[in-house]
Amino acid sequence: MRFIIALLICACLVLAQAPIGLGSGTLSPGLLDLFDWYGATASGCTAGTRGMCVGHAPLGDTIYFSGWFANASLLPVTTGLPVVGTLNDFTSKTCSGNLMVTQLAAFSWTSRNASSIYEINCMSGYGSAPAATDAPTGWKGHCTSGDDGTQGCSWKSRAPFVRGGLLYLPVERQIPTGTTSIHDATLIVSADGGQTWKNPYTVAHGGTASATGDAPLCGAASNASGNPCTGASYPGSIMWQAMPFAASQWEPVQYGQDGAMPTGINDGCDPTTYTCFMAGEQEATIARVLNTDLPSLDVTKWQYYTCPAITDTYRCPGSASSSWTSTFANRTQVARMLIPTTSKYLPWNAVFGIAYIKEFKSYLMTGYQNRGPGTTAAAFAWAPAIQGPWITTLSVPTDDAALPTTRLWPGFMSPSLALGYTVVSTNPPHVKLTTVQDSPYYSSQTTPFFGQWDLVLGRTPMWQGGDNPHYSSVFGYATNAGYVLSESHAPGTIPRKNLLWAFDFYDHGGDTTAAGMIGFHDIANGTAFLMPCSGLTCNEFNAGQGNVLGSYGAQIVDGGYGRQMLTTQHETPATMASGLTLLNAPAAVQGNGTFTVGGVFRFDGTTYNNAPLWMFGDASGSNTEVALSYSNYTGGPLELGWGVNANRWRYTSGFTMVAGNWYFIACTVQANGATPIGHMWMGVGGALVDQIAGVPRTSTGGTPTQTPNVSASPLILGMEPGQTHSVNASYASLFLYGRALGQAEAGLMYRTVKTKMAARGVAVQ
């Protein structure tokens, strides 16, 4: 499924939930700064017996610094940062093993070389050697009770978190190398800052906390298939037995510092009442538990978000009790993830971290995407609620040679609200956020790698082409020109007021080999889809029949097949098989309407007379269609007419397009009884010119009705209905408004598209 949300934003007014975008950055898109722990030279850091300054220790992966105490009174450095982290397969200053808990005692972007990490607990009960499978003794390598222990699962941890002064750590069984598997997962809790721990069985039976981590005991007789866990404490110590391979473990949603949570969150995850989680790495389901029930580690108290009616745009309200179930099997996936057994290149391979960004009143998710064989991308997505819809805002390929030493490898990259969180502005929201990830450049056992990201308001999310198997060749590219749709009229934006549809012709990310690519999404409101068609038969792009997918967008070639593009309600193959549903243009262009159609077009060569670049309506009556067309084989002169081939009323310009040139053209129509007022704003040589200024609206002859009465029809590009010839033209952007834009707004659009198209390799006149 694909997820769409209308971006109704204003740069000077913060709405209830604001889109989170990534700024231009200084090192790469959105990225302001990097700090490599391994490669740094310590300065101003003095570490004690179990402390480590920047450099080659600690080594490990799955690095999170997400546990945020109200103060550091329970931690080794009581005057340091109250931040707790974890890492797996580690080698530290005094120990090594499968997982450990640390304190990030010092860190700042201004004094980064004085940073320090201290050991809290080496968690020896989970194995003192990395990838140890029979730890504690009796697991025999099992991932879960009775499975084939020859897979050799060991213990791993995920993001620690703090609630009510207690420290929690998700732990699970995991294959040391390769893909995830069916496995056991649970939480453990510490009341003394991580020095001692209890698993759920110990909590339930009032047992003593363990300094070695209180690892659950399986007690299997051997690692052979079918040997169950026989330990008496086993049933009560594992909260989720045989967890699905895609679910991995619950990642806590970060809301803020313990004791200082934001309020006013109404999606069912108000952090003053609930602790919420998202299942990662590859599932994206949601769980919650009352803060008052969390310390019991009683899994029967947990609830899971459920929404059988979920669609691209609809989410069952998280505020409704009916949207939550205590039945684990009834949970609902809220984002499209890679499912290795069924799909190859769906957009999200893994979710690594999720945080609520209070200045935006929205959520930010980090993870990585598959961009093709052997290629991945660090990815960010935002959502107005924990349930979504989740919209990709940035997808940066990790093998991009233009990036600084390709250091955006996304290994377990996760937001850390406790580190270097700088509020630049609250209105509009603008935040500098720190992420932490594994560094892959020195050893298979990695060191922390910090990134500082620029979160800004108002960037339209870049459409993600790999949202269903129909886009399998697109590899989840972050697409479109990054248009900013805003009512601010700030330089570099596209006017947002009454913007009904917007097509950027770039859902394929510039990949002209995108087999199965079938059209383009409306990026303004998500209410339409534009498909290549011949008559009413709509299918994939077919260059041999005149619908060409170009690196810049789309091309229609007059080859006698009557090729065109039409707006439809759906794009999925299932919908096509059951009968494609065309979508009529909005009411603003029907009848005697007031509207604007603007876009970026290229005339590609001689073709049929009066072939329309775009049109609405049909030729069944007098003045029942409106079109921008060129009236001869050579591309001109352009006319804005109420009809194409029939006798019609029209505004005829004196401008003929030059083959091979790209133009910005915005036609505006203001209803005015029988004499609508029209403008044809064009960019020529960097200047905006009204090509029909002073030109009267005249009749071509006969007795056509003068008052427009445009009939309901889809938006049509390239061919008048009933004809066999099309335009020879290319399309890069198209915008439809329910009002007549003025000269200033048309000029703003012109300047914006010139800049945005240049980044795509399109030189607009």
pLDDT of residue 506: 75
pLDDT, average across residues 739-759: 91
pLDDT of residue 575: 34
pLDDT of residue 450: 93
Q: Cα separation of 670 and 652, whole Å?
A: 17
The correct CATH number of 479-759 out of 3.40.50.720, 3.10.105.10, 2.60.15.10, 2.60.120.200 is 2.60.120.200
pLDDT, average across residues 184-208: 98
Determine contact, residues 661/603, Cβ cutoff 8 Å.
Answer: yes
**With 50 as the cut, is the pLDDT of residue 406 above it?**
no
Q: Cα separation of 119 and 191, whole Å?
A: 17
**With 90 as the cut, is the pLDDT of residue 284 above it?**
no
pLDDT band at 703 (very low <50, low <70, confident <90, very high): confident
pLDDT of residue 258: 97
List the one residue out of 504, 503, 458 whose CA is nearest residue 481. 504
What is the torsion angle, in degrees rounded to the nearest 10, for the CA atoms of residue 678, residue 684, residue 686 and residue 687?
-40
| Span of 69-78, 544-553, 665-674 with lowest mean pLDDT | 544-553
pLDDT, average across residues 711-740: 85
Which amino acid, one-letter code, is at 423?
V
What's the token pair of residue 274? 């609930």
| Span of 142-156, 310-324, 575-589 with lowest mean pLDDT | 575-589
Residue with the larger pLDDT of the pair 191 and 525: 191
pLDDT of residue 444: 57
pLDDT, average across residues 662-677: 96
**With 60 as the cut, is the pLDDT of residue 269 above it?**
yes
pLDDT band at 463 (very low <50, low <70, confident <90, very high): very low
* 3-state secondary structure (DSSP) of residue 628: strand
pLDDT of residue 640: 94
Q: At 755, give phi and psi (nearest 5°).
A: -70, -45
pLDDT of residue 288: 98
**With 70 as the cut, is the pLDDT of residue 318 above it?**
yes
E-assigned strand segments in 92-149: 96-106, 116-121
536: enclosing H helix or E strand: none
Q: What is the tens place of the pLDDT at every residue in 596-645?
A: 999 999 988 876 666 789 999 987 777 888 989 887 777 779 999 998 76
| Span of 137-146, 218-227, 489-498, 752-761 with lowest mean pLDDT | 752-761
User: Exposure of 375 by Cβ count < 10 A (0-12 exposed, 13-18 middle, 19+ buried)?
Assistant: middle
C-alpha distances (whole Å) from 258 to each of 67, 241, 476 are 9, 29, 36
pLDDT of residue 162: 98
Determine contact, residues 760/506, Cβ cutoff 8 Å.
Answer: yes
pLDDT of residue 333: 86
Q: Cα separation of 370 and 378, whole Å?
A: 9
For 699, other C-beta atoms within 10 Å of its C-beta total 13
pLDDT of residue 411: 74
- What's the per-residue H, E or C state across 21-68? EECCCCCECCEEEEEECCCCCCCCCCCCCCEEECCCCCEEEEEEEEEE
pLDDT band at 470 (very low <50, low <70, confident <90, very high): very low
573 upstream amide cis, omega within 30 of 0: no
Q: Cα separation of 698 and 722, whole Å?
A: 25
Average pLDDT, the chain: 84
Residue with the larger pLDDT of the pair 422 and 427: 422
pLDDT band at 281 (very low <50, low <70, confident <90, very high): confident
Determine contact, residues 76/486, Cβ cutoff 8 Å.
Answer: no
pLDDT of residue 722: 62
**With 90 as the cut, is the pLDDT of residue 302 above it?**
yes
| Span of 205-209, 462-466, 500-504, 712-716 with lowest mean pLDDT | 462-466
pLDDT, average across residues 345-364: 82
Percent of the chain as helix, strand, coil, to the nearest 5: 10, 35, 55
pLDDT of residue 524: 82
Domain ranges in the chain? 39-243, 479-759
pLDDT band at 650 (very low <50, low <70, confident <90, very high): very high
**With 70 as the cut, is the pLDDT of residue 292 above it?**
yes
Q: At 671, give phi and psi (nearest 5°).
A: -60, 135
* 3-state secondary structure (DSSP) of residue 254: strand
Q: Cα separation of 505 and 483, whole Å?
A: 12
What is the pairing mode between strands 154-157 and 166-174?
antiparallel
Q: Cα separation of 260 and 135, whole Å?
A: 38
Please count the CA atoms within 13 angstroms of the CA of 747 that sit on its side-chain side: 8
Percentage of residues of the chain with pLDDT beyond 70:
82
pLDDT band at 371 (very low <50, low <70, confident <90, very high): low
pLDDT of residue 474: 34
Q: What is the tens place of the pLDDT at every residue in 135-185?
A: 999 999 999 999 988 878 999 999 999 999 999 999 999 987 766 788 999
What's the token pair of residue 204? 């339930």
- What's the per-residue H, E or C state across 382-447? EECCCCCCCEEEEEEECCCCCCHHHCCCCCCCEECCCCCCEEEEECCEEEEEEEEEEECCCCCCCE
What's the token pair of residue 689? 């010119």
**With 60 as the cut, is the pLDDT of residue 592 above it?**
yes
pLDDT, average across residues 246-257: 91
**With 70 as the cut, is the pLDDT of residue 468 above it?**
no
- 451 strand-pairing partners: 34, 435
Q: Cα separation of 619 and 114, whole Å?
A: 75
